[in-house]
Amino acid sequence: MRPILDQSVQQLRTWMLEHDQPAYRAAQIRQWIFARRASSWEQMTDLPRGLREQLASEFDIWSAEIAVHRTDADGTEKLLLTLADGRALNPDVVPGAPACGSRVAAPAAGGKGPLQIECVLLRDDKGHCGMCISTQVGCAMKCAFCATGLGGMTRNLSTGEILEQMLQLQRLLKAEERLSHVVCMGMGEPLANLDRLMPALAAAAAKDGLGIGVRKITISTVGLPAGIRRLAEQNCPYHLAVSLHAPNDTLRTRLMPTNRHIGIEPIMAAADEYFEKTGRRVTYEYILLAGVNDGVNEAGQLVALLRGRPSLVNLIPYNPVHGLKFRTPHPRAVARFGEILEQGGLTVAIRHRKGARINAACGQLRRNAAAS
């Protein structure tokens, strides 16, 4: 059985022709899955019964199972998805070195429990519904404050597995709700899996897909210069968010070990190139950790680093992770940090915490489930 979501439109058309079916059946299937939210082949009633039976014998619509579904009072919903054990749909994994596109064989499945990933549906008070999706099973970046890296890195997700997260979250929407944006800020490093991610995002943006505007799609990265330059060369239509989290190399290396092999300046140079070639300003994500990177000195250094660069600074008060020492700063400290940045001429946004009661921070739910 093959996941239907890993088949491109052209591949579906070819399959139809090979099975003596008109090519337009591929568009019908796509409409059923993306627009009409079908969960079985039997629901696709405008397809001949024989074709439905043949599709059911060769393709799965869903390749993952919902292991946990949690809902917060603020409207946030989080899914923990269990992937098909033993089926390495994409055996490429990214080793500890931060080189974009590195590949080694995946470890054999089994013995370590099911492969699981997380995705989140986020609602705001304006009626917008966004989603945060994962791109890898685990993460090799090992950021000190993140729950995902604690479990190590297993493999990249396939295009279909990335798309399936979006469709599973779409099924949680009320009749009057629509998906407004998507952020690749879940488990994993998106730029280390661009070959599978970009087709998934293209389907999310397509009119016959999820119809999400390209300016409403964000790719977040710890800062892999080669990957950023690749996006720039392709004139990527999506927003780029760089997870900075520190204004100097000493502190950033302490918080994000991959920085030891890269350094802030090469990241900034690649981000500058992205702006020059695409015309889209870069967002710099900055998680505020109490007593670590939220002081006046750090704020001043961040102003010096970003002054003159067309950018948005997204301040994120830390969402605590059980077992890690980091704490959420007091709201006064968050406000003071933001004020210093604004006085320095930077554009600032403060992200309000969502889903704190359901372990919505990246990697928390999977870690808790594994421990139980």
Residue 286's nearest CA partner among 206, 341, 368, 330 is: 341
Q: What angle do CA 206, 282, 200 make, to 5 degrees?
A: 25
| pLDDT surpassing 90 at residue 154 | yes
Rg, the chain, Cα only: 21
118 is catalytic: yes
352 Cβ partners below 8 Å, 6+ apart?
A: none
Q: Give the per-residue pLDDT at 151.
A: 76
| pLDDT surpassing 90 at residue 80 | yes
Could you list the beta-strand ranges (E) of the chain: 2-3, 59-60, 65-71, 77-82, 116-123, 129-132, 136-138, 153-156, 179-184, 217-221, 239-243, 282-288, 311-317, 347-350
The span from the CA of 124 to the CA of 48, in Å, is 42
- % of the chain with per-residue pLDDT over 70: 87
Q: Give the per-residue pLDDT at 214.
A: 96
- As a whole number, mean pLDDT of residues 332-354 equals 93
**Band of residue 106 on the pLDDT scale cut at 50, 70, 90:** very low
Q: Give the per-residue pLDDT at 362.
A: 54
The span from the CA of 79 to the CA of 72, in Å, is 12
Encode pLDDT of 284-330 as tens digits: 999 999 999 999 999 999 999 999 999 999 999 999 988 899 999 99
| pLDDT surpassing 50 at residue 363 | no
| pLDDT surpassing 80 at residue 369 | no
Q: Give the per-residue pLDDT at 330.
A: 96
Residue 179's nearest CA partner among 225, 119, 265 is: 119
Task: For residue 130, give the 3-state DSSP assignment.
Answer: strand
The span from the CA of 22 to the CA of 39, in Å, is 23
Encode pLDDT of 41-59 as tens digits: 999 999 999 999 999 999 9
| pLDDT surpassing 90 at residue 23 | yes
Q: Which domains, ranges and CATH numbers included, belong to the chain?
A: 2-60 (1.10.150.530), 65-371 (3.20.20.70)
Question: In angstroms, what CA-CA distances link 64 with 61, 67, 74, 338?
Answer: 9, 9, 26, 41
Q: What is the pTM of this model?
A: 0.88
Encode pLDDT of 248-287 as tens digits: 999 999 999 999 999 999 999 999 999 999 999 999 999 9
Encode pLDDT of 157-177 as tens digits: 999 999 999 999 999 999 889
Q: What angle do CA 222, 197, 123 make, to 5 degrees?
A: 75
| pLDDT surpassing 90 at residue 114 | no
**Band of residue 120 on the pLDDT scale cut at 50, 70, 90:** very high
Q: Give the per-residue pLDDT at 126.
A: 84
- % of the chain with per-residue pLDDT over 90: 80
Encode pLDDT of 175-232 as tens digits: 889 999 999 999 999 999 999 999 999 999 999 999 999 999 999 999 999 999 999 9
Which pairing describes strands 179-184 and 129-132: parallel, antiparallel, or unpaired?
Answer: parallel
Q: Give the per-residue pLDDT at 353.
A: 65
- As a whole number, mean pLDDT of residues 102-108 equals 32
Out of 129, 132, 236, 362, which one is annotated catalytic?
A: 362
Residue 290: count other Cβ atoms within 10 Å of its Cβ: 17
Q: Give the per-residue pLDDT at 217.
A: 98
Out of 118, 161, 189, 285, which one is annotated catalytic?
A: 118
- As a whole number, mean pLDDT of residues 130-143 equals 95
